[in-house]
Every structure is written in structure tokens, then in C-alpha cells.
Amino acid sequence: MSDLKVKLEAQYNAKREAQLNEVSDLKQQLELRHTEIRNLNASIESLKSVNEELKRAFAVTSAGIEGGKNLAESAQDLERTRKAINIQLAEFDGVKKSLMRDLQNRCEKVVELEIQLDEIKEQYNNVIRNSNSKAQQKKMAFLERNLEQLTLVQKQLVDQNSALKKEAGIAERKLLARNERIQNLEALLQDADRRLSIQNQKFEAQLQAVKERLDQARASKAASTSTLSFAGRIAKPLRGGGGSGVSTSPPAPASMSSANPLARLQNEEAG
């Protein structure tokens, strides 16, 4: 398109320069013809004045002297001169008409050249407008394609943004539920720790009480054992048949220990 534009500009400038040169030459020739016409008109006027003077002189001489030979010759000369002048006038008139026709033709040619120049200028402007319109159309089509692509990308981004917002909302709700569950579990864990601590304290207190009772049971057992052994030595019969008494006295502590749970626990630990 740029090469075509350059070629058209070159052709337009060349034709315009040639036509301008031709118009300038025609104007110069027209000026010369006008000058010649003015000169011919001046010559015609001078010849007319001479002819008038000759006519007056001829009339005077013919009226004053009718029969003289010299006057006849002068009249003939004047007649020949008048005829020659008339011939020159006719020639000048023909030349004038020819010049006027040539001038008219050249003026018409100048007008035609100006019309052609205007037409070429209009064609050049049309080509420029068409080339510009085509370039604008291409540019508009390119911009429309870019706009469609940008609209599609914007739509995709909006859809992605909406999806991300939905996912973010779901993730946030899940996170809130998880945090709430963690808080509940922490509360349950703290409550379990508290209960376990209370149970441990109770168990330790019970264990301490059991230990104290066990210690008391051991002490009471040791005291009762020493007392029974001492009583057995004193109550041992000296007569015969006392074996039954010896055999019946020891089971008493066993029945006592079976009746006392602390004693049973002590026996289990001893065993």
C-alpha cells in the first residue's frame, strides 16, 4: 500500500508539473499572441488612417483637377496602395481570426488540463482515502480481535476469581469448623486432664490411706502375735492331753486375719 501510494504521488506530481509547464507555455504564447494582436490592431488603425487620408486626397485632387495625367497616375498609385492596404487588412483580419481561434483552442485546452488535473487530484484523494480506510479497517479488525481476546480473558479471570472465592469460602468454613473442633477437643482434653488429676489425687489419697491402714495392720499383727505367743507360753498345761489345747490355740489368728481385709492384704503381700 505504501509503494502504491508513493507511485501515485510520483505520477500525480509528474503530471501536475507537466501540466503546469504546459499551462505556463500556453500562457506565454497567449501573451505573445495578445501582443501580436495589439500590434496588428495598431497597424490596421494606422493603415485605416492612411487610407482615409488617401481617400480625402484623392477626392480633393479628383475634384480639383480632373483631366491631368499626373493626377491620373497619382490616382492609380493611390488605388493600388488602397488595394494593397485592403489586402493587408484582409490578411491581418485572417491572421487575427486565426490567432483568436488558436487562442480559443489553447484556452479550451488549458481548461481541459485544469479539469484533468482536478480529476487526477480527486482520484488521488480517493485513493488516499481508500487506502486510509482500508488501513483503518484493518486496524479496527485487529483492535476488535484484541478486544474479543481481552474480553474472553477477562471472563476467564472473573470465573476463576469466582471459583477461587467459593473455594476460599469453603476452605474458610472448613477452617472455622476445624478450629471449633480443635477448641472443643482442647476443652475436652483439659476437662479429661482435670478429671484425671482429680482421680489421681483421689487414688493417691486412697493409696496413702491403704498404706497407712496396712502399716497399722502390720503393727497390730505384730503386737497381737507377740501377745499370743506370750499367752501360749503361760497357758501351756503341765498335765497330759494338753496337746489338744496347743493345737486349738493357733488357728484363732487365722480366722481373725480372714475376717480383716487389711490382714488379708498383708498376708498376700507377705506371700
When mean pLDDT is compared over 201-205, 228-232, 267-271, the highest value belongs to: 201-205
Judged on CB neighbours under 10 Å (0-12, 13-18, 19+), 263 is buried
Question: 44 or 133: which carries more pLDDT confidence?
Answer: 44
**CATH assignment at residue 131:** 1.10.287.1490
Q: Report the distance separating Cα 86 and Cα 93, nearest Å.
A: 10
* 92 part of a folded domain: yes
Verdict on whether the full-model pTM lies above 0.95: no
Number of H helices, E strands in the chain: 5, 0
Give residues with Cβ within 8 angstroms of 121, minimum separation 6.
12, 16
Joined grid coordinates for residue 195 = 478429671
pLDDT at 2: 63
pLDDT band per the 50, 70, 90 thresholds, residue 183: confident
Give the structural domain span for 35. Answer: 2-135
pLDDT at 259 over 50: no
- Summarised one tens digit per residue, pLDDT across range 1-48 is 566 667 667 777 777 777 777 777 777 877 887 788 788 778 778 777
Give residues with Cβ within 8 angstroms of 114, minimum separation 6.
19, 23
Task: Please state the φ and ψ torsions of residue 118, each to the nearest 5 degrees.
Answer: -65, -40
Q: How far is CA 147 from CA 55, 131, 136, 159, 258, in A?
A: 98, 24, 16, 18, 102
* 226 part of a folded domain: no
Q: Report the distance separating Cα 159 and Cα 144, nearest Å.
A: 22
pLDDT at 63 over 70: no
pLDDT band per the 50, 70, 90 thresholds, residue 270: low
* 172 part of a folded domain: no
* 119 part of a folded domain: yes
pLDDT at 155 over 80: yes
Domain count, the chain: 1
pLDDT at 265 over 70: no
* 203 part of a folded domain: no
* 206 part of a folded domain: no
* 156 part of a folded domain: no
pLDDT band per the 50, 70, 90 thresholds, residue 251: very low
Q: How far is CA 85 from CA 39, 49, 70, 248, in A?
A: 16, 11, 22, 208
* 193 part of a folded domain: no
Q: How far is CA 109 from CA 31, 47, 114, 121, 245, in A?
A: 16, 34, 8, 18, 178
Give residues with Cβ within 8 angstroms of 263, minimum separation 6.
217, 221, 256, 257
Judged on CB neighbours under 10 Å (0-12, 13-18, 19+), 228 is middle
Q: Report the distance separating Cα 128 and Cα 7, nearest Å.
A: 12
pLDDT at 257: 43
Task: Please state the φ and ψ torsions of residue 260, each to the nearest 5 degrees.
Answer: -100, 120
pLDDT at 207 over 80: yes
pLDDT at 243 over 60: no
Q: Which helix (H) or strand (E) holds 258?
A: helix 251-259
